[in-house]
Amino acid sequence: GEDVEQSLFLSVREGDSSVINCTYTDSSSTYLYWYKQEPGAGLQLLTYIFSNMDMKQDQRLTVLLNKKDKHLSLRIADTQTGDSAIYFCAESMGDYKLSFGAGTTVTVRA
């Protein structure tokens, strides 16, 4: 996880927006990803962004990419209790290899 850094915890009230931030190191990364891990489960691909894009929106999810600062964020609108999980940022390192951040644990409180 040393190539990709994320804050470890985020607490948000139900109905508010969540913003999870990530910084990465490899400027040649082609794709950047957000994965979600619910307790006891594997990682599920939520969304990805190609490195020549600034923004991608997919229903309640908005991904912003600042390539100059190597900063990636995931915004979840109208956060629900089912959004409580660990969110991993990942960058492609070439040869299909992904490097993951340490994960941000999102807790949604009523």
Q: Which is nearer to another protein, 37 or 73 (CB)?
A: 37
64 versus 93: smaller Cβ distance to another protein: 93
Q: Identify which of residues 24 and 88 has a Cβ nearer to another protein in the complex.
A: 88
The angle subtended at Cα 67 by Cα 65 and Cα 73, nearest 5°, is 25
Helix and strand numbers (H, E) in the chain are 0, 11
- To another protein, the closest distance from the beta carbon of 105 in angstroms equals 8
Q: Residue 82, Cβ neighbours under 10 Å: how many?
A: 8
Binding site for another protein (CB under 8 A): 1, 30-31, 33, 35, 37, 40-45, 48, 50, 86, 88, 90, 92, 95-100, 102-103
55 to 38, 47, 52, 71, 94: CA distances (angstroms): 25, 12, 9, 12, 22
Q: How far is the CB of 80 from another protein (least distance, A)?
A: 22
